[in-house]
Structure 1
Amino acid sequence: MAGILDTVDQRTQLVGENRLELLMFRLGGRQLFAINVFKVQEVLQLPKLTLMPHRHPHVCGVVNLRGKTLPVIDLSQAIGMRPLVPGPDSTIIVTEYNRSVQAFLVSGVDRIVNMNWEAILPPPASAGRHHYLTAISKVEEQLVEIIDVEKVLAEIVPYSAKVSREKLDDPILERARGREVLLVDDSSVALSQLRETLSQLGIKMHVASDGLKALNLLKGWADTGEDITDKLLMIFTDAEMPEMDGYRLTTEVRNDPRLRDLYVVLHTSLSGSFNESMVKKVGCDNFLSKFQPDKLVDVVRQRLLRDEEPA
């Protein structure tokens, strides 16, 4: 399993093709769970676990990995299932997203599968652990539940959506008041952060939970004769979403003459170095890592200033 993530260059070719790779694992039972491979740094046997006083109930302890101290989160307990018992044979998945690195304790890793986003569907609207799912799919007739790890992390390390007073006092941002934006994300946590931050600018928000819904909304507006570039100040889109990802959404926007001039910002938890190169490939105007309210406002300011540039 150590070499399972060695072909990242090959995986980048999936971008823009509406495809993804999932790392599948189990949490003590037969049910398969998954996470996008792009969030995964490595999979390994649990190193020596150090217990910490006053730690969050879902954090088993910390491990030292190549000189860095990482929290180990019991993913089973974090999503409302029975806690796992860490031991020398336990497995951890080391992940990087939202500008942080953490390890998830799992009972075992299955394999990596290459899938089309069209086969990834929204989760059922029900209680229990489904509250922590961002999507579901089927692999060889077996249900796979894709965990909303952004939500898991946000409950352990709460985020702030508050914009600094210095940013809000910028007179240029007054031009944003009353303008409309489209938010595209399947994570309720990410949408809440966007709403809380942008509401401080007086911006009106439309929401779509995946790229396909967003594209249909945009085309529907255009079909009624609306000038979409006048209607919308910008679009914030996640990268990973069921049915159509943010890369494909951007490609489809650029291919439609009625939409192609829209300002598109990739707003994602995935690593910056990867996404900055992918932004150019698919034609996004800007890239922003999630949960940075001041930088989110900076991106809005950049968009407003573009209106002043000579045609």
Structure 2
Amino acid sequence: MSNVLSSVDARTQLVGQNRLELLLFHLGGQQYFAINVFKVQEVMRLPELTKIPDSHPCIRGVCHVRGQTVPVVDLRAAVKMGPMTGDTSNCNIIVTEYNMTIQAFLVGGVDRIVNMNWNEILPPPGGAGRQHYLTAITRIDERIVEIIDVEKVLAEISPYELELTEDAYDRELLEKVHGKDILIVDDSNVALEQMKNVIAPMGLNIVQARNGLEAYQTLMHWKQEGRDIRDRLLMIITDAEMPEMDGYMLTTEIRQDPDLKDTFVILHTSLSGNFNKAMVEKVGCDGFLSKFKPHSLADEVQKLIRMKVEQAEGR
């Protein structure tokens, strides 16, 4: 099944076109789920697992993949559908890279890869149960496909350390931009909370959007109001993968707008490091950050603020 994955070159061609590829799978029932192919390293039959004492209940064990020891997460259990039971000999694991860590997800079976446009991907409906573990839904072959919020799954299994000490902040610099706007864009509540935890102590006005389209509409609304965006908006921090409009397309639209083209944009994503350079260069971002690295986020934001202040002072 590993040959189902596209090459790096083929996948990076989707960047800036508001397109994505989804890997479809099921969790032992009729409902189909998906994750972005960008996150996937390999798909294989479930190998023999080694149990780890005192591990999280959703960790089925570890396996060895290409010389690495990889934890295997029971994805069905992680999204509160109950553990995978019965004969697992025909099950698969999806080996993924998120935020520079490798993990595998135990699934019932893998179907295929589909190429889609992000405007075909919609925010999930409100509700209880596993809806809390979805970032989006879509329709394929007249069937609803649920896109898993893997960041939430991983945060619950291994919580991220998000607290920063006071010495992480340059108070003299931040005083010069107190109350100015910073726009953060992400469809994951976990990621939005992380960004707010890091940025709120800076004394900035945080404006948030749940996807690229909402962020773009916010920018257009500010333009219509006659707001001095170049002065008021310090930067935009955006996820890559989002319903309706992704972060690459958002950045492309910003770069093509004469009133916005000089806006600082940071791509803040859990995508594999293998694609970082190609994506950043293609869409023209000012920075690239892995998610859930609070010190790196604080450093990058303050670096761009310093550049903004120096530009304003004519240095």
Q: Give TM-score scaled by structure 1 length.
A: 0.96
Structure 2 unmatched runs, 5+? none
Q: What SS does the aligned partner of 2:56 have?
A: coil
* 1:308 aligned partner, one-letter code: E
CA distance in 2, matches of 1:175, 1:294: 21
TM alignment of 1:51-200, pairs within 5 A: 51-85=51-85, 87-168=88-169, 171-200=172-201
Decide whether the 8 Å contact of 1:266 with 1:288 is kept in 2.
yes
Residues 289 and 33 (structure 1 numbering): CA distance in 2 closer, same or farther, change over 3 Å? Answer: same
Mapping for residues 216-227 of structure 1, pairs under 5 Å: 216-227=217-228
Q: Counterpart of 1:30?
A: 30
Counterparts of 2:183 and 2:301, CA distance in 1: 13
- Per the TM alignment, residue 279 of structure 1 is displaced from its structure 2 partner at its CA by 1.2
Asked whether the equivalents of residues 212 and 250 of structure 2 are also in contact (C-alpha less than 8 Å), the reply is: yes
The one of 303, 308, 311 equivalent to 2:310 is 308
Report % sequence identity: 57
Say if 2:257 is the partner of 1:249. no
CA shift digits 1:184-232 (9 cap, x unpaired): 1000100010011111222220011000010011000111111111111
Alpha carbons 2:266, 2:289 under 8 Å: kept: yes
Q: Which residue of 2 aligns with 1:207?
A: 208
1:36-70 per-position Cα deviation (integer Å, ceiling 9, x unaligned): 00000000011110111111011111112222111
Residue correspondences, number:
311
Tell me the SS of whatever aligns to 2:310. coil
User: What's 2:293 paired with?
Assistant: 292
Aligned to 2:232: 231
How far the C-alpha of 1:176 sits from its partner, in A, is 4.3
Deviations 1:152-183 (A, max 9, x none): 00000101221244322563344343221001
SS at match of 1:241: coil
One-letter identity of the residue aligned with 1:106:
V
- Counterpart in 2 of 1:39? 39
Bigger mean CA deviation after superposition, 258-267 or 301-310: 301-310
Take 2:68 and 2:278, find their aligned partners in 1: how far apart are those partners? 27
Q: Secondary structure at the match of 1:254?
A: helix
Letter of the 2:288 partner, please give it: F
Distance, in Å, in 2 between the alignment partners of 1:53 and 1:248 is 45
What residue identity is the alignment partner of 2:202?
Answer: L
CA displacement at 1:2 relative to structure 2: 1.8
- Name the CA distance, whole Å, in 2 between partners of 1:19 and 1:298: 31
Following the alignment from structure 1 to structure 2, what is the Cα–Cα distance between the partners of residues 176 and 275?
30
Q: 1: distance between equivalents of 2:274 and 2:8?
A: 13
Instruction: Quote how far apart the aligned CAs of 1:254 are.
Output: 1.1
Deviations for 1:239-291, whole angstroms, at most 9, x for unmatched residues?
Answer: 00000000000011111112111111101010234122211211111111101
Task: Rate the CA distance shift 1:32–1:215 in 2: closer, same or farther, 3 A.
Answer: same
Q: CA deviation at 1:25?
A: 0.0
Q: Check the 8 A contact 2:174/2:203 in 1, yes or no.
A: no
